Amino acid sequence: MLSVTALEKRFGATPVLEDVSFDLSPGELAVLVGRSGAGKTTLLRCLDGLERPDAGTIRFDGRPLETTETALVFQEGALIDGKSALENVLDGALGREPAWREVLGWHTPEEKRLAIEQLHAVGLGGYADRRVGDLSGGQRQRVGIARALQQQPAVLLADEPVASLDPATADSVLARLSAAVDDHDLVGLVSLHQPGLAATVADRYLGVVDGRLVLDAPAAAVDADRIAEVYDDG
């Protein structure tokens, strides 16, 4: 169980997150909705350890969440175009491997096997040697998911991972994220600029307005009107 309690974050004198509290369970994909600037990205960055909260706690199974237990899929993938898909996925294991291995480009056979499995899991089994700069937007995002899974996280986060994709490709990428959360029994949290895309994958909705959590409910209890209220309130 991921438990966030009374989380607060300020940039200077400006509050960005205020008294945010929620619980998410393994195997559950929660979709984070809210207007641009509402605090969604800051919340994800606090969970991933890229930002330090000013107050509150983030705990997993009753203990502080470690940065090594989280993986974040970025909006633009944050991949290295000159590397192959396999090499980018292998970068996900850097937290578990000595730095010299990355310098030399050497990885254990076990890490390579796992990385190939991750590519298969996101539907890119034949793309290991393909240069990432030559892949489509949807394929790049799936490499990003595979790299995140290579980190072997307990919590999988994604920040607007389909914002620049066409609807059909976006549906495919979200389906891969949902399957990864379910197959690996992860806590999943993805922010979406287009909440309509979440209908087939969301187990839960979290809604943020001006840094405050205004919606926290199972997907079955949330309709389009309730989601629209989050944006109207903003």
The CATH topology of domain 2-233 is Rossmann fold (3.40.50)
Q: Name the phi and psi angles at 195, rounded to 5.
A: -60, -20
By the 8 A CB rule, do 71 and 149 touch?
yes
Strand ranges inside the chain, DSSP E: 2-11, 14-24, 28-33, 55-60, 63-64, 70-73, 155-159, 187-191, 204-209, 212-218
Confidence at 167, pLDDT banded by 50, 70, 90:
confident
Percent of the chain with pLDDT over 90: 66
> Cβ distance 172 to 137 under 8 Å?
no
Instruction: Output the pLDDT for position 101.
Output: 60
Question: If pLDDT is split at 50, 70 and 90, which confidence band does 15 have?
Answer: very high
Please tell me the distance from the alpha carbon of residue 84 to that of residue 90, in angstroms, as a whole number. 10
Kindly report, residue by residue over 122-136, the tens digit of the pLDDT: 889 899 999 999 999
The full set of domain ranges for the chain reads: 2-233
Span 13-19, average pLDDT: 95
The answer to whether 187 touches 156, Cβ cutoff 8 Å, is yes
pLDDT tens digits, 71-92: 999 876 678 999 999 999 998 8
pLDDT band of 190, cuts 50, 70, 90: very high
Summary mean pLDDT of the chain: 90
Q: At what angle do helices 167-183 and 109-121 cross, to 10 degrees?
A: 130
Query: Residue 165 above 90 pLDDT?
Result: no
pLDDT given for residue 164 in this prediction: 78
DSSP state of 82: T
For residues 179 and 120, give the distance between their C-alpha atoms in angstroms, rounded to a whole number.
12
Whether residue 39 is predicted with pLDDT greater than 60 in this model: the reply is yes
Give me the mean pLDDT over the 57-63 stretch.
96
Strands (E) located in 111-186: 155-159
The secondary structure element, H or E, covering residue 21 is strand 14-24
Q: Name the band, by pLDDT with cuts 50, 70 and 90, for residue 234.
A: low
Q: Which residues pair with 28 in a beta bridge?
A: 187
CB-based contact 56:5 (threshold 8 Å) = yes
Residues 97-111 have pLDDT tens digits of 655 566 566 677 888
Instruction: Return the pLDDT at 186.
Output: 97
Distance from C-alpha of 83 to C-alpha of 50, rounded to nearest angstrom: 24
Distance between CA 223 and CA 195 in Å, rounded?
11
